[in-house]
Structures are given as C-alpha cells and as structure tokens.
C-alpha cells in the first residue's frame, strides 16, 4: 500500500506514552525490527491536536531515533512522519486502520512567538 507523508507543522503533538519496544509476536515476545536496517523498533503514544480536534495515535520509530529527555505530556516533533493504510483478516474478520511511522521522536520547545500553546503559558 502507499505511504502518505503527514504534514504536522500546524499541529501540536504531546507525548502520552513513553517509548517501549514494539512486539512483533506476543506469544514469543519477539521484538519487531526494521526490514531494511534490522534495527529494533519502538512505539510511542501521542495526542495529535489540530484545529480544535484531537486524536490519540501510536507511532513507530527506530530505537536510534528516540531522543533523550522525553517527558510525558510534553510537546514532541516527529520528523519524517508517514501514514500507511492497512487491512487484514484476523479470525475470519476483516480489520483495517492506519499505521504511523516517523524517523525520530524529539522534544519540541514551543515559544510565545510560535503562537501555540506551551506548558506554563495560558491556553488561548
């Protein structure tokens, strides 16, 4: 399926779940690896806020792309974020969704000049 770039410049993303290894096989505990590099993959949870609406999403990032100093509730950036629609049949039932992936997750410092909310600054 096609990979779609996600434009996030007008959005605020807040970290809601700390990075943890992405499990490929729940029965064996096998950790998912990048198909090209073989690097271990991690998942994070973020709330995506834009135009007065919010969504909770899980994003997969390579282990080397997880920055130090990430804090729950703090704004983050997800450079190289893409979305990939998927569908499968599990136990005879059709399932579908959108998988999100990014090259990295980094802390994002919001400033008063950006016009966006930041911790310690009153919301508009």
For residue 109 the two structure tokens come to 């410092």
**C-beta separation of 108 from 73 below 8 A:** no
Query: In the prediction, which pLDDT does 56 show?
Result: 96
Phi, psi of 64 (to 5 degrees): -70, -15
pLDDT digits (tens, 9 = 90+) for 69-88: 899 999 999 999 999 999 99
Torsion sign (Cα): 91, 96, 101, 105: negative
Q: Indicate the Cα dihedral angle 8, 37, 24, 68, nearest 10°.
A: -50
pLDDT digits (tens, 9 = 90+) for 16-50: 999 999 999 988 999 999 999 999 999 999 999 99
Q: What SS3 class is residue 26?
A: coil
- For 1-25, letters b (16+ CB in 10 Å) and e give eeeeebeeeebbbbbeeebeebeee
């Amino acid at each position: 399926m096609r990979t779609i770039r996600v434009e996030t410049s007008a959005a605020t993303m807040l970290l809601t779940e700390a990075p943890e290894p992405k499990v490929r096989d729940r029965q064996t505990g096998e950790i998912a690896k990048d198909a090209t590099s073989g690097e271990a993959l991690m998942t994070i949870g973020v709330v995506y806020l834009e135009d007065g609406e919010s969504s909770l999403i899980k994003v997969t990032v390579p282990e080397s792309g997880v920055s130090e100093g990430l804090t729950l509730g703090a704004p983050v950036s997800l450079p190289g974020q893409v979305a990939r629609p998927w569908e499968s049949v599990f136990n005879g039932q059709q399932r579908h969704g959108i998988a999100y992936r990014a090259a990295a997750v980094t802390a994002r410092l919001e400033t008063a000049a950006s016009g966006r909310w930041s911790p310690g600054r009153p919301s508009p």
